Amino acid sequence: MKSFFRKKDVNSILDSNKSNSAERSLGAFDVTLMSIGATIGTGVMVLTGVVAARDAGPAVILSFIGSAIACVLVALCYAEFASSIPTSGSAYAYIYASLGEIVAHLVGWSLFIGYTVCTATVAGGWSAYFNSLLKECGIHLPHVFTNIPSQGGLVNLPAILVVLFITFLLSRGTKESKKINNLMVFVKLGVIVLFIAVGAFYIKPQNWHPFMPFGSKGVFAGAASVFLAYAGFDAVSTSAEEVKNPQKNLPIGIVASMIGCTLIYIVVCLVLTGVTHYTKLNVGDAMAYALSSVGQGWAASILSVGAVIGILAVVLAYVYGSSRILFSMSRDGLLPKAYSKVNKKTNVPVLSTWLVGCLAALLAGVVDLKQLADLANMVLLATFSLVALSVIVLRKTHPKLERGFKVPLVPVVPLIAIACCIFLMCSLSKTTWIYFGAWTILGVIVYFAYSHKHSSLQDKNMSENQLEKNIA
């Protein structure tokens, strides 16, 4: 049983980073923008309307606040790990060093599908805004190529193509993609400011009544559904090996982006549900729809253009994060070595990047956006609760480890974070639990069939045992 819970040595992780890390080209500003880019996107531009219509009504603002409380607590835990063990792999690497190999494998396995599903979710939202923009220009794509089978179509072709385009961009290298990412983030923030500035003049307080049409249960279900809107910082923490001075810059990027995004979400929720009655917001392009409904078609068109450009940043961040999880697991021997091979010119794990991109494109083309979002939320909530637990464990096992940032009031804050995550998980549907359980079982099978035997720690232990025999 000990071999299943063997842990990666923290010092060996830090030493490995020095010799294996990629070119460090990301500063604090880049990290903050990447985190905002990964965070602000589908959550505010798509899920706000969908969750208001299906789960919470105008009380969606409470759903966002509830998720924000849980996510800020988790973000503090991430900031401590990022400042003490700055390595590619995010939660997977943190848990490998604290809770053991089999738990780390399942977390990495879950994050891989979680990020991939996030990519598909975002692509679905992007497609809605793209189609809305084309309609404003008088272009109508065939229904069968813009809708998934459950909506009467054949495949969501724009969603597939945008994922493949971003995958190609990432395969060209981090330095090139970060410049485009920064531009996309500024565009996205600009259209959100436009929505607030224009929409604020058309708020009708009567649209906020009833405020909680689905009761407190709907608010909590909404909080679980919009949790994805705050999860960008996790994807960014996978970039640790490409960040300059990660002990300082990663915590700054994570905490600063969380504070800024929370304030933006609150204002957008108030304006969106004030301009349009929540019953009419079950659409993929909620913000553009709201402006069009009050006769501001010009602003809706500009917003759609900005969303089409800006949401690309979210797709980029999640494809990036998922491919780096595969890269880290492969480097540790838990997945085939082919996934950790990098292109000599671009220093990018090309196979991992394209695997994530192709799988995400397939999901985006045929699966419902809300179902994708709920599965992604389940994976992220489970992972975040384990990260919070890992902070407590690592404080006990490595009390002298240098930490650029420390979570206050340990173990109280991490325990509250765990409780919040579990509570939100219980608010998700039984179907989502079934999907999550099936993927976890598949991960267990992969671990015992391949990962346990090929783990780099297995090879290390065998070498040490052989050395002991030779000495004896």
Q: What is the pLDDT of residues 152-182, one digit of tens each?
A: 889 999 999 999 999 998 887 755 556 676 6
Rounded CA Rg of the chain: 22
Q: In this predicted structure, what is the pLDDT of residue 38?
A: 65
Question: What residues contact 252, with CB distance under 8 A and at least 6 apart?
Answer: 28, 31, 32
Alpha-carbon torsion (321, 382, 339, 82), positive or negative: positive
CA 115/CA 408 separation, integer angstroms: 29
**Which residues in the chain come in under a pLDDT of 70?**
1, 14-26, 37-38, 41-42, 86-90, 174-179, 181-182, 232-242, 246-247, 459-472
Largest CA distance in the chain: 85
CA angle, 309 then 311 then 313, to 5°: 90
What single-letter amino acid sits at 402?
E
Would you give the end-to-end CA distance of the chain in angstroms?
26
CATH number (domain holding residue 252) = 1.20.1740.10
Question: What residues contact 464, with CB distance under 8 A and at least 6 apart?
Answer: none
Q: In this predicted structure, what is the pLDDT of residue 375?
A: 87
Q: In this predicted structure, what is the pLDDT of residue 467?
A: 40
Beta-bridged to residue 26, according to DSSP, are: 243
Q: List the domain range (segments joined by +) for residue 59.
A: 2-471
| pTM for this prediction | 0.79
3-state secondary structure of 455: coil
User: What is the per-residue burial (b if ≥16 Cβ within 10 Å, else e) of 421-448?
Assistant: beebbebbeeebeebbeebbeebeebbe
Asked whether 31 and 175 are in contact (CB, 8 A), the reply is no
CA 166/CA 340 separation, integer angstroms: 20
Q: In this predicted structure, what is the pLDDT of residue 32?
A: 73
Q: In this predicted structure, what is the pLDDT of residue 357?
A: 94
Question: Could you identify the residue written with the tokens 């599965």?
Answer: 375
Asked whether 266 and 64 are in contact (CB, 8 A), the reply is yes
CA 319/CA 341 separation, integer angstroms: 17
CA 209/CA 189 separation, integer angstroms: 29
**In angstroms, what CA-CA distances link 436 with 107, 114, 142, 359, 362?**
12, 10, 34, 17, 19
Asked whether 244 and 238 are in contact (CB, 8 A), the reply is no
Q: In this predicted structure, what is the pLDDT of residue 19?
A: 52
Strands (E), 233-329: none
Q: How many domains, the chain?
A: 1
What tokens does 416 get? Answer: 């509250």
CA 316 to chain centre: 11
Q: In this predicted structure, what is the pLDDT of residue 63?
A: 92
Alpha-carbon torsion (216, 62, 233, 165), positive or negative: positive
